[in-house]
Amino acid sequence: MSNRVKQILKAREASIVIMLAVVMVVAFLMNNTFLSFENQMDVIKSNAVLGIAAMGMLVVILTGGIDISIGGQLALVTVLTGQLMKETGFDNLIVIYLLGIVIGGLIGLLNGLMISHLSLPPIIATLGMNTIINGFLKYYTNGAWINQLPQKIIDFGMIKLFSKPGEVGGQVGVPIQFILFLVAMILTWFMLRWTKLGRSIMAMGGNRVSAERVGLNNKNLTTFAYVFSGMMAGLAAITYTSIMKSVDPNAFIGYEMNVIGAVVLGGALLSGGSGSVLGTFLGVMMFAYISNGLTLARISTYWQSIIVGIIILLVVSFDMVKLHRETKRMTKVDIVPIGD
């Protein structure tokens, strides 16, 4: 194998890319509709919420933390902004988006402060937060859906760029939710790759002690990661409302598992310091394609969960074998005789 190929195969994303390619080819062979532009756009639209939330979760996981309250944050933002729009008829979408991002960011700030300054384990702090939010929502909404939202958000959710009438009906085009998902990815990628903040988060996630020694403020970095995650949850929440045209307060119960699952499938290590925007995007698409592709392939739902489980195990074992080999090679370095 040439060095170039080896290098590509060594990339963290390699295993997921290979699995994704397999899934796509199989789905396409079973049903050509899978690769149609219309189907691809449908898949992206209905998974944009997961994708945006996963970007925030990625940054938290990079610090070696975890955010169990992501579902609660999404639900809280959808309910509060939904209620505001319904009760007052307020429909300035830019303000609604900003408001959602601020609410999410504030919850993230609380999470971050509990974790960095009170030294609570992330899983406990965010689990507690999630329980509080869900309890509040239960009390506040009694589980009732919020309907009759302003026409503006409904119209906004239906926007499709470069659209033309579809073959069967409706409009085919690039959904606005895809653009929002792209924005979230570019922002996260830029922050992690090109800002000091992002580089510091990567460094801290890799090794906390060294990071502290070189003078990084771990507490502030940790807090920032949760605020960022909350803001992404806010963005995802309004995007959800734009797709669903109504708010179901119970829609996000258990959602954290999907978000964390997508990030981990995308190659991020829960121990921190390792993971990428590209990998996370692929993880989200993997989740989406498995479900969409298997249905299109006309495979019964009973088999779907079995296949999903096998794919997750394959991807993760591939990663683990690779990691194991790398570690082995690194240990070897120590026993190479001097002067060899």
Partner 1 sequence: MKKLTAVFLALMLILAGVSAMAETIVVMPKLVGIPYFNASETGAIEAGKELGIEVIYTGPTTGDAAQQVTMIEDLLIKGIDALAIAPNDPDAVSPALQKAIADNVLVVDWDTPASGDDVKYSIHQIDDKKFGELIWDKLVEAMGTDEGEYAIVTGYLTAANLNTWIKYGTEYAAAKYPNLKLVTDPVASDESAQEAYTQTLALLGAYPNLKGIVGISTPAPIGAAMAVQEKGLQDKVAVVGSSLPKDSSPYLKDGSLDFGILWDPGKLGKLTVYIAHYELNGTPITDGMEIPGVGPITLWEDGKTIIMGDPSVWTAENADQFDF
**47 or 126, CB closer to partner 1?**
47
Dihedral of alpha carbons 26, 27, 28, 32, sign: positive
CB of 293 vs partner 1, minimal distance in Å: 8
Q: In this structure, what token pair is assigned to residue 54?
A: 């996963």
Q: Residue 220 burial by CB count (10 A; 0-12/13-18/19+): exposed, middle or buried?
A: middle
Question: 242 with 157: CB under 8 angstroms?
Answer: yes
Nearer residue to partner 1 within complex by CB, 35 or 106: 35
Binding site for partner 1 (CB under 8 A): 31, 33-34, 36, 38-39, 42, 46-47, 49, 135, 138-139, 142-145, 147-148, 158, 166, 168-171, 240, 243-246, 248, 250-251, 253, 291-292, 295-298, 300-302
Tell me how crowded residue 256 is: count the other CB atoms within 10 A of its CB: 23
CB 242, min distance to partner 1, A = 12
The Cα angle at residue 83 between residues 80 and 88, in degrees rounded to 5? 125
Q: Which CB sits closer to partner 1, 3 or 142?
A: 142
Quick one: 172 or 191, whose CB is closer to partner 1? 172
Give the residue with the Cβ less far from partner 1, 123 or 144.
144
Note whether 259 and 61 are within 8 A (CB).
Answer: no
The whole-angstrom separation of Cα 111 and Cα 312 is: 29
Q: How far is the CB of 292 from partner 1 (least distance, A)?
A: 5
33 DSSP 8-state letter? G
Q: How far is the CB of 153 from partner 1 (least distance, A)?
A: 13
